[in-house]
Amino acid sequence: MMAYRRRCTDLFSIFAATLLLAAPQAAVSGPMNMIEEPSRPDAFYCEQRKLGTWFYCARPKPKETVPVQPAPFAPTPAPETATARLDKITAALRELKARAILEPSPENITAYIRYQREQLDRSSLFSDVWQRAVWQDPELDYTQVRPVSTLGKRQWLDQRKLDRDQVLNSLRDRYGLFYFFAQGCAPCGVMSPILKSVADSHRIPVMAVSTDGGPSEIFPRYVVDSGQRERMGLDSKITPAIVLFDSRTKRAIPIGYGVLAADELMDRIFTLVATEAGRDY
């Protein structure tokens, strides 16, 4: 038994010596170098058999990573405006109408009538809601300023006449009327008594000016035009012409030309003197 053990020990010693002779570098470098990768590829496997990169003959090159660019920011589209929607409806209605006229088939005419009816219904709804809104808000109701009903209009006219007469009765302290006429002017013969009636009823002084030097039966105390018309900035040579003159500001306010009814003449004087532009509309 001892001889067998001795023999095994000798065999193991011989085997270890053989390994040391076959790989002297591994024995010298230590056990960690035995698991390191070779510094150069094996000639047999990589050159003769050409096994490729998967047998570590040539290390695979890492793939270049291309940075991913973020997608450009896409703005949220703006909602379609009401004007654009209405334009589309108008364009569609015109197209259907044109198609029905140029190609008057039952299908085209029916399509146009149906679409037109839809828009009429839309218009009727708008009108109804408009009326309801006006009824519920007096600031939107124009009839509060200028009535349209028979009863309301009569009351408004009566009140306006009272205001007008009050204003015209107060004009004599500040205003006067220039009346340009001509002897050979037929409309002047109609306008002269109308103007005298209005002026006398409200005691407004009138200066009659003859543009051709002829007299006037209605205004015997007339003067001949010596440049008054031009100084007032009246370029028109039309007669008769009525001008309201402000003695405080020395401003001439043309009232009208030609024949005017008494109510129209008084309304014009009242409007130009006592109301602001846009008040009655």
| CA proximity to 43, closest of 55, 33, 31, 34 | 55
Tens digits of per-residue pLDDT, 122-162? 999 999 999 999 888 888 887 777 777 788 878 878 888 89
CB atoms within 10 A of CB 136: 9
Structure tokens at 79: 């909602």
Distances (CA, A) of 130 to 103, 105, 119, 153, 209: 38, 37, 16, 22, 54
Q: Which helix (H) or strand (E) covers residue 133, if one does? A: helix 106-136
Tens digits of per-residue pLDDT, 209-245? 998 888 988 999 999 988 888 888 776 678 899 999 9
Q: Which helix (H) or strand (E) covers residue 18, if one does? A: helix 2-22
Tens digits of per-residue pLDDT, 166-223? 999 988 889 999 999 998 889 999 999 999 999 999 999 999 999 888 898 899 999 9
Tens digits of per-residue pLDDT, 209-219? 998 888 988 99
CB atoms within 10 A of CB 168: 22
- Interatomic CA distance for residues 115 and 119, integer angstroms: 7
Residues 6 or more apart in contact with residue 194 via CB below 8 angstroms: 259, 260, 261, 262, 265
Please answer whether residues 279 and 211 qualify as being in contact, where contact means their C-beta atoms are separated by less than 8 angstroms.
no
| Cis peptide, bond prior to residue 240, ω within 30 of zero | yes
* CATH class of residue range 152-274: alpha beta
Question: What residue ranges do the domains of the chain occupy?
Answer: 29-61, 102-140, 152-274
Please answer whether residues 243 and 255 qualify as being in contact, where contact means their C-beta atoms are separated by less than 8 angstroms.
yes
